[in-house]
Amino acid sequence: MRFLRRFRIRFSNFVTRRSADQRLQEEIAEHLAFQAEENVRAGMAPAEARRQAALKLGPVEAIRERHHAEQSIPFFENLLFDLRYAIRMVLKSPGFSVIAIGTMALGIGATTAIYSVIDATLLHPLPYPNPAELVRVQDDLPGVGAHGVGISIPEWRDLQASGIFQSVALTGTGANVNLTGSEQPLRLSFKQVTPNYFAVLGVSAQLGRTFDPNDPTPGYNLEVVISDGLWRKEFGADPQMIGRVLRLDNDAYRVVGIMPRGFRDQGSTSDEQNVDLWLGAGFTGLPFRPPQRDLRLASRAVIARLKPGLSIAAAQGHLDALVDTLKKQYPADYPAQTAWTVRLIPLTETVVGSIRSSLILLFGAVGLVLLISCVNVANLLLARASGRGREIAVRQALGAQRTRLIRQFLAESLLLFVLGGIAGVAILFSAQHFLLRLIPESLPHLNNISINWGVLVFAVAVSVVTGTVFGLAPAWLMSRFDLIGTLRQEGRGSSGSRERARARQTLVISELALSLVLLIAAGLLLRSFWDLFKVQPGFNPNRVMAIQTWLPGPNDPSADIYRSATQEAVLLREILRRSRTLPGVEEAAVGDEAALPLGHGQPGRLPLIREGIETKDNEAPVINSPIVSPEYFHLLSVPLLRGRLFNDQDLEETPQVAVINQAAALTYWPNQDPLGKRVRLRLDGRDRRASSTPPWTTIIGVIADARTESLADAAIPQIYRSIYQRPAKDLAIFLRGQLDPSAISSQMRTQIQSIDPELPVFHGETLDEVLSESLSVRRFSMEMVAFFAATALLLAGLGIYGTISYVVNEQRREIAIRLALGAQKAMILRMVLRRGAGLAAAGTGLGIAGALIVSHLMSGLLYGVSPTDLPTFAGFTVVLTAVALAASYIPALRAMRFDPITTLHSE
Q: Which residues of 70-80 are buried (b: 16+ CB within 10 A; e: fewer)?
A: ebbbbeeeeee
CB of 404 to other proteins, least distance (A): 20
Distance CA 638, CA 702 (A): 11
Between 58 and 676, CB nearer to other proteins: 58
Q: Which is nearer to other proteins, 2 or 433 (CB)?
A: 2
Pair 455, 115: CB distance under 8 Å: yes
Least gap, CB of 401 to other proteins (angstroms): 17
Q: Which of residues 25 and 754 has its CB atom nearest to other proteins in the complex?
A: 25
CB 302 within 8 A of CB 156: yes
- By the 8 A CB rule, do 115 and 359 touch? no
Query: CB 63 → other proteins: shortest distance, Å?
Result: 4
DSSP code, position 696: P
Q: How far is the CB of 33 from other proteins (least distance, A)?
A: 7
CB neighbours of residue 882 within 10 Å: 12
Q: How far apart are CA 584 and CA 767, in angstroms?
A: 16
Give whichever of 33 and 465 is closer to other proteins, judged by the CB atom. Answer: 33
**CB 904 to other proteins: min, Å:** 50
The minimum distance between CB 900 and other proteins, in angstroms, equals 55
User: Shortest distance, CB of residue 77 to other proteins, whole angstroms?
Assistant: 16
Tell me phi and psi for residue 182, to 5 degrees: -100, -170
In the complex with other proteins, the residue whose CB is nearer, 64 or 642, is 64
C-alpha distance from residue 754 to each of 570, 729, 759 (Å): 14, 19, 10
Residue pair 557/688 in contact (Cβ under 8 Å)? The answer is yes
Give the C-alpha separation, 164 to 320, whole Å. 11
Q: Residue 361: CA atoms inside 13 Å, Cβ hemisphere, count? A: 30
Cα(84)–Cα(736) distance, integer angstroms: 71
Question: Who's near 444: CB < 8 A, 6+ residues apart?
Answer: 121, 125, 268, 269, 270, 273, 351, 352, 353, 355
Question: For residue 506, how many other CB atoms are within 10 A of its CB?
Answer: 15
Residues 6 or more apart whose Cβ sits within 8 Å of residue 77:
14
Minimum CB distance to other proteins, residue 40 (Å): 12
Q: Nearest distance from residue 10's CB to other proteins, in Å?
A: 6
Q: Smallest distance, Å, CB 9 to other proteins?
A: 5
Nearer CB in complex with other proteins: 38/238: 38
Q: Is the Cα dihedral 95, 101, 105, 111 positive or negative?
A: positive
Q: CB of residue 41 vs other proteins: minimum separation in angstroms?
A: 12
Helix (H) or strand (E) holding 587: strand 585-592
Which residue, 27 or 673, is less far from other proteins as judged by CB?
27
Of the two residues 23 and 402, which places its CB atom closer to other proteins in the complex?
23
Best CA proximity match to 203, nearest among 123, 266, 138, 260:
260
DSSP tag of 865: S
Task: For other proteins, give the closer residue by CB, 34 or 76.
Answer: 34
Strand pairing partners for 313?
none
Q: Minimum CB separation from other proteins for residue 62, in Å?
A: 8
For the chain, what is the radius of gyration of the CA atoms?
Answer: 38
Contact (CB, 8 A) for 190 and 552: no
Give the dihedral of Cα atoms 105, 107, 109, 110; nearest 10 deg. 150
Footprint on this chain of other proteins (rule: CB under 8 A): 2-3, 5-6, 9-10, 20, 23-24, 26-28, 30-31, 33-35, 37-38, 55-60, 62-63, 66-67, 69-71
CB of 70 to other proteins, least distance (A): 5
- Taking the complex as a whole, the smallest distance from the CB of residue 403 to other proteins amounts, in Å, to 18
Q: Which lies closer to other proteins via its Cβ, residue 27 or residue 814?
A: 27
CA-CA-CA-CA torsion sign (252, 253, 255, 261): negative
Give the 3-state secondary structure of residue 243: coil
- What 3-state DSSP class applies to 301? strand
Closest CB to other proteins among residues 28, 714:
28
Cα gap 223→197, rounded to integer Å: 13
**Residue nearer to other proteins on the CB measure, 2 or 437:** 2
Let me know: does 250 contact 334? Beta carbons within 8 Å: no
Q: Tell me whether residue 65 or residue 899 sits nearer to other proteins (CB atom).
A: 65
**Which residue number, 66 or 856, has a Cβ lying nearer to other proteins?**
66
Smallest gap, in angstroms, from Cβ of residue 491 to other proteins?
Answer: 34
Q: What is the nearest approach in angstroms of other proteins to the Cβ of residue 30?
A: 5
- Decide whether 28 or 436 has the Cβ nearer to other proteins: 28
- Smallest gap from Cβ 66 to other proteins, in A, equals 4
At 373, phi and psi to the nearest 5? -60, -45
Q: Which of 75/533 has CB closer to other proteins? A: 75
Nearer to other proteins, 62 or 332 (CB): 62
Concatenating the DSSP letter of every residue in 620-656 gives S-EEE--EE-TTHHHHTTPPEEEE----TT--TTSPE
Nearer to other proteins, 38 or 441 (CB): 38
Q: Which helix (H) or strand (E) holds 309?
A: none
Q: What's the min distance (Å) between Cβ of 3 and other proteins?
A: 8
Determine the straight-line distance between the first and last CA of the chain, rounded to whole angstroms.
63
Contact present, 527 and 777 (Cβ < 8 Å)? no
**CA–CA distances in Å: residue 669 to residues 616, 638, 696, 775:** 18, 21, 17, 32
DSSP codes of every residue in 757-808: TT--EEEEEEHHHHHHHHTHHHHHHHHHHHHHHHHHHHHHHHHHHHHHHHHH
